[in-house]
Amino acid sequence: MRILLGEDEDKMRELLRKFFEMEGYEVVEASDGEAALEKFYDEKFDLAILDWMMPKMNGLEVAQIMKRERNIKILMLTAKNMPEDEVDALMAGVDDYLAKPFHANVLLIRVAKLLGVIQQDIKQPLVFIPNEKRVLLHNSELTLTKKEYEMLYYLYQNQGLPLTREQILLSVWGLDNENDERTVDSFIRILRDKIGKEFIQTVYGIGYRFELPKE
């Protein structure tokens, strides 16, 4: 499936392009609103992802023109996060709206839903939805307690790094707690039972390390 990506920030555009290409999407880039419209007229796309604050022509204006011309799905990305901004975007015909900063996996889920991609096609084995404190494992929601979620998210954010039990304890429970390092071991066992042992590795003499399994 083909995505038209309109984003004026070079680094953000490059990161998003690489992320979607890793998921099997074909991405065509545009660095301003006028360039996005030119590519829209010249080629066919399944989805347009537009930044609201693009130069030359903003994303909202581009979206309105695109919707008049074709039946195309549009996702708006923006630093504008007031309720009235979201209302303006939806009234302009935008299909979905995501405020910056956002988690890449949340964007992936939104895109998959807009395109009607079956969830099994999403390659990320573990997907976090931080604002809702939810986790999907192979597209099925995990049942986690608050502390289980917080520990798993902390490990995930530091994936690839060996973490001591003390680091995990302080980061998840804070300084003012009466737990000891055995609490960390107990929660690790629970998480391994829920997500599989392959995600959380024991680093002997140190503690634990989170790794996403390689395909």
List, for residues 123-147, the tens digit of each pLDDT value: 668 877 766 778 888 778 889 999 9
Distance from C-alpha of 192 to C-alpha of 204, rounded to nearest angstrom: 17
Backbone angles phi, psi at 6, to 5 degrees: -105, 105
- Contact assessment for residue 63 and residue 31, using Cβ atoms and an 8 Å cutoff: no
Per residue in 58-84, pLDDT tens? 888 898 899 888 888 999 888 766 667
- Contact assessment for residue 151 and residue 194, using Cβ atoms and an 8 Å cutoff: no
Q: Using pLDDT thresholds of 50, 70 and 90, give the confidence band for residue 87.
A: confident
Q: Is 37 exposed, middle or buried (0-12, 13-18, 19+ CB in 10 A)?
A: buried
Question: In this predicted structure, which of 26-40, 71-85, 147-161 has the lowest mean pLDDT?
Answer: 71-85
Residue 25 has a pLDDT of 87
Whether the bond between 162 and the residue before it is cis, its omega within 30 degrees of 0, is no
Residue 11 has a pLDDT of 87
Distance from C-alpha of 89 to C-alpha of 60, rounded to nearest angstrom: 7
Question: In this predicted structure, which of 12-16, 114-118, 180-184, 202-206 has the lowest mean pLDDT?
Answer: 114-118
3-state DSSP assignment of residue 6 = strand
Whether 188 has a pLDDT exceeding 60, the answer reads: yes
Residue 131 has a pLDDT of 62
Closest CA to 108 of 7, 210, 21: 21
Closest CA to 50 of 105, 100, 84: 100
The one-letter code for the residue type at 181 is E
pTM for the structure as a whole = 0.55
Number of Cβ within 10 Å of residue 176's Cβ equals: 5
Number of Cβ within 10 Å of residue 42's Cβ equals: 8
